[in-house]
C-alpha cells in the first residue's frame, strides 16, 4: 500500500504570524500619539518634519524612523525638550533690543526728546509731536531733522521691520487739509516714513505706517499735560514676526 505523502512544511502555520499585524498596529499607534503630541501647539516646521517621518513609516521603513527623521532640525519637541525655547528667544531678543536702543538714546543725548518703551511687539521710540511738527500740521520741522538722522543711523544697523505710528489727542480737528485726527496722524506717520526711505535711503520693504488718531492714548485725555503726551509719533522696532 503506497505511503501518504506528508504535507509540504511550507504550508504549515508557525504560530507567530500575528507578529506582523501586531508590529503594524504598534507603528500606527506610535504615529497617532506623536501626531497628537506634536500638533498640540501648531508649528509649520513641526508639521513638515512629522509629515516626512510619517511618509517614511507608511512606505515601509522601520518604526523608529519617525523619531529619527531629523525631528530636531524641525524643532519637533521630544519628551524632556524645552517647548518654550522660541518664546524665550523672543523675550531675550526684545530685552537686548531695549538695552541697545536705551543706550543709544542716552549716548546721543536724546533722552529729553525721545522715550523708549517695549511691548508685546517690540521696542518703540516715542517722539513728541512738537519736536516734529507744528500744531495741526504734518510737514516735518527743520529742527526735527537732526533727531531723525540719529534715529536713522540706529535703525540702519538692524534688519528688523519698522512700523511708524502717528497718534493725536482727542481734540477734534477739521481743516482744509485734514478733516479729522485720522488724516492728521496718517500723514504725520507717512512723512516720517518717507524721510527714512526717500531721504536716508533705508530699505522700503522694512517699513510701514499707521494713523492711529486719538484711539491709542498713553494716558487719559483729561488735561492739557496728558493730551500733550498722547500727541506723538512712535517708531516701533519689531522683535517678533507678527505685525
3-state secondary structure of 213: coil
Q: Around Cβ 136, how many Cβ atoms within 10 Å?
A: 14
Least confident of 3-7, 41-45, 127-131, 164-168: 3-7
Q: Which pLDDT does position 216 carry in this prediction?
A: 96
Domain ranges of the chain: 17-83, 86-238
pTM: predicted TM-score of the whole model, two decimal places: 0.64
Least confident of 40-44, 129-133, 203-207, 208-212: 40-44
Spatial CA neighbour of 100 closest among 165, 154, 159, 161: 154
Please identify, in words, the CATH class of the domain defined by 86-238: alpha beta
| 162 contacts 206 by C-beta, under 8 angstroms | yes
Q: Is the pLDDT of residue 38 over 50?
A: yes
Spatial CA neighbour of 167 closest among 197, 126, 196, 207: 126
Percent of the chain exceeding pLDDT 70 equals: 70
DSSP string, 22-64: HHHHHHHHHHHHHHHHHTTS--HHHHHHHHHHHHHHHTT--TT
Least confident of 8-12, 97-101, 225-229: 8-12
Longest dimension (CA), the chain: 123
The half-sphere exposure of 217 on its side-chain side, counting CA atoms within 13 A, is: 16
| 188 contacts 213 by C-beta, under 8 angstroms | no
Q: Which pLDDT does position 143 carry in this prediction?
A: 95
Least confident of 39-48, 61-70, 100-109, 141-150: 61-70
H helical segments located in 144-238: 145-155, 181-194, 224-230
Average per-residue pLDDT for the chain: 82
Q: Which pLDDT does position 45 carry in this prediction?
A: 61
Q: Is the pLDDT of residue 210 over 70?
A: yes
pLDDT category, 77, cuts 50, 70, 90?
very low
Which residues lie below 8 Å from residue 25, measured CB to CB, with a gap of 6+?
A: none
Amino acid at each position: 500500500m503506497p505511503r501518504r505523502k506528508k504535507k509540504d512544511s511550507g504550508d504549515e502555520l508557525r504560530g507567530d504570524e500575528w507578529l506582523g499585524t501586531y508590529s503594524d498596529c504598534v507603528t500606527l499607534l506610535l504615529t497617532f500619539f506623536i501626531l497628537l503630541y506634536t500638533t498640540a501647539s501648531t508649528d509649520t516646521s513641526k508639521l513638515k518634519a512629522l509629515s516626512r517621518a510619517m511618509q517614511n513609516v507608511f512606505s515601509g521603513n522601520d518604526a523608529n524612523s519617525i523619531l529619527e527623521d531629523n525631528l530636531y532640525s524641525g524643532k519637533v519637541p521630544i519628551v524632556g525638550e524645552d517647548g518654550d525655547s522660541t518664546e524665550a528667544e523672543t523675550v531675550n531678543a526684545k530685552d537686548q533690543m531695549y538695552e541697545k536702543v536705551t543706550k543709544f538714546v542716552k549716548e546721543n543725548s536724546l533722552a529729553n526728546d525721545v522715550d523708549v518703551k517695549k511691548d508685546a511687539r517690540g521696542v518703540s521710540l516715542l517722539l513728541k509731536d512738537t519736536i516734529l511738527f507744528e500744531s495741526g500740521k504734518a510737514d516735518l520741522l527743520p529742527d526735527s531733522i537732526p533727531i531723525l538722522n540719529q534715529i536713522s543711523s540706529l535703525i540702519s544697523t538692524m534688519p528688523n521691520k519698522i512700523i511708524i505710528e502717528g497718534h493725536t489727542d482727542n481734540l477734534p480737528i477739521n481743516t482744509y487739509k485734514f478733516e479729522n485726527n485720522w488724516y492728521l496722524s496718517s500723514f504725520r506717520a507717512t512723512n516720517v516714513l518717507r524721510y527714512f526711505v526717500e531721504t536716508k535711503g533705508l530699505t522700503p520693504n522694512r517699513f510701514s505706517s499707521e494713523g492711529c488718531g486719538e484711539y491709542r492714548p498713553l494716558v487719559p485725555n483729561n488735561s492739557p499735560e496728558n493730551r500733550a503726551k498722547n500727541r506723538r509719533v512712535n517708531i516701533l522696532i519689531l522683535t517678533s514676526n507678527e505685525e
